[in-house]
Chains A and B, each alone.
Chain A
Amino acid sequence: MNQHRHTKPKERRHGRALAAGLFAVAVGLLATAGVYAALTGAATGTESVSSGTLNLTLTPDVGAGFSNFTGKMAPGDTNNVYVNLNNSGSLASAAGMTLAVAGAPANALTDGSVPGEGLTVSATQCSVTWTLVSGSCAGTTTTLLAATPVSTLSGGVALSNIPALAAATGQVGHVQISLGLTGTETSVNGVPPAKTIQGLSTTLTYTFTEQQRTGITTNQ
Chain B
Amino acid sequence: MKHHTHSHARRTATPVAVLLGMVVLLAPTRAGAARTAGQATGTSSVTSGTWAATAASTSFVFTAGSGELDTAVTNTGTLALRSVAYTATASGPPGGQASFVVLACRSPWRGRTCTGGGARVLRVGARRPTATGTSTVVPVPGASTYLQIRPQQVGVPTTVTLATAVVAPADVRASIVTNQ
Contact = CB atoms under 8 A, between A and B. Distances in A.
Interface of A: 54-58, 63-69, 71-83, 85, 87, 89, 91, 93-94, 109, 119, 132-135, 179, 181, 183-192, 197-212, 214-215
Nearest to B178: A79
A189 B58 contact: yes
7 contacts: A58-B42, A69-B47, A73-B48, A76-B172, A79-B44, A189-B165, A204-B45
B39 A209 contact: yes
B125 to A, nearest CB: 22
B37 A209 contact: yes
Contact of B44 (A132, A191, A199, A206): A206
B140 interface: no
Interface in B133-180: 163-169, 172-180
Interface stretch (B3-11, B63-71, B72-80, B101-109): B72-80
B55 interface: yes
Chain B, interface SS category: strand
Greatest chain B CB density within 10 A among A87, A93, A187, A201 is at A187
Given A187-B51, A201-B47, A72 B37 contact: no
B35 interface: yes
A210 B49 CA distance: 35
Contacts of B25: none
A189 B51 contact: no
Interface of B: 35-55, 58, 74, 76-79, 163-169, 172-180
Given A190-B53, A211-B37, A183 B164 contact: no
Contact of B46 (A185, A188, A202): A202
Contacts of A69: 44-47, 178, 180
A85 B44 contact: no
Contacts of B174: 76
Given A69-B45, A75-B169, A202-B46, A208 B180 contact: no
Contact of B172 (A56, A74, A133): A74
A133 B180 CA distance: 9
